[in-house]
Amino acid sequence: MPQLPLRRIPRTPTLVIRPLIATDVDHILELQELAYAGYYLESADSFTVKIAAGPETCFGAWFEGQLVGYLVAVPLSGDEPLHLNSTDLQSTPMGKAQVLYIHDLAVHPERRKTGLGDVLLVHLYDSANRYGIETYSLVAVQNSTGYWAQRGFEPQGGPPAIGYGPEAVRMSRR
């Protein structure tokens, strides 16, 4: 039988979304620097504890091996926000959580305006739906209240979130 010639199969770059793991933290720190003003930068330890607390609620978006977006959220029993850069985390198993606290959502500046944040949020909502969790909370910074309002979040009362400064707005969605 004649041999078929080997053909070069064109490689289509694909976006991969998968749960974050501890070894992703260096990539997160690099992207964090591009997405946040210095005042908000958090430590590697602070990401590590949140990824450990939210194996079903933290996701990374990868394009050609580069982290281009991440969402860090943790299940909590109440709606008190975490302190900025906190490593002291009282998380709750998904089965017992009342609230999903969206701690951080960031997209690489060159990958914005394609709705990648929404893609990551849908992964979180799917996870929440599996456990019947219906409440989300967050602290909006860097003038992102409009972004969150478009996604159904409303300003929430309560004491200010610790460490974020006066421009931060606590928001929630039910």
Ligand X SMILES: CC(C)(COP(=O)(O)OP(=O)(O)OC[C@H]1O[C@@H](n2cnc3c(N)ncnc32)[C@H](O)[C@@H]1OP(=O)(O)O)[C@@H](O)C(=O)NCCC(=O)NCCS
Chain residues in the site for ligand X (CB under 6 A): 35-36, 105-107, 112-118, 138, 140-144, 146-147, 150
Residue 3 or 143 with smaller CB distance to ligand X:
143
- Cβ of residue 66: shortest distance to ligand X, in angstroms? 15
Identify the CA nearest to 58 among candidates 74, 44, 43: 74
How far is residue 32's CA from residue 25's CA, in Å, rounded to a whole number?
10
- In the DSSP assignment, the letter for residue 115 is S
Give the position of tokens 């159904």.
152
- Cβ of residue 74: shortest distance to ligand X, in angstroms? 15
Residue 93 or 152 with smaller CB distance to ligand X:
152
Identify the CA nearest to 106 among candidates 59, 159, 152: 59
Beta strands in 78-134 (DSSP E): 99-107
Residue 48 or 144 with smaller CB distance to ligand X:
144
- Cβ of residue 155: shortest distance to ligand X, in angstroms? 13
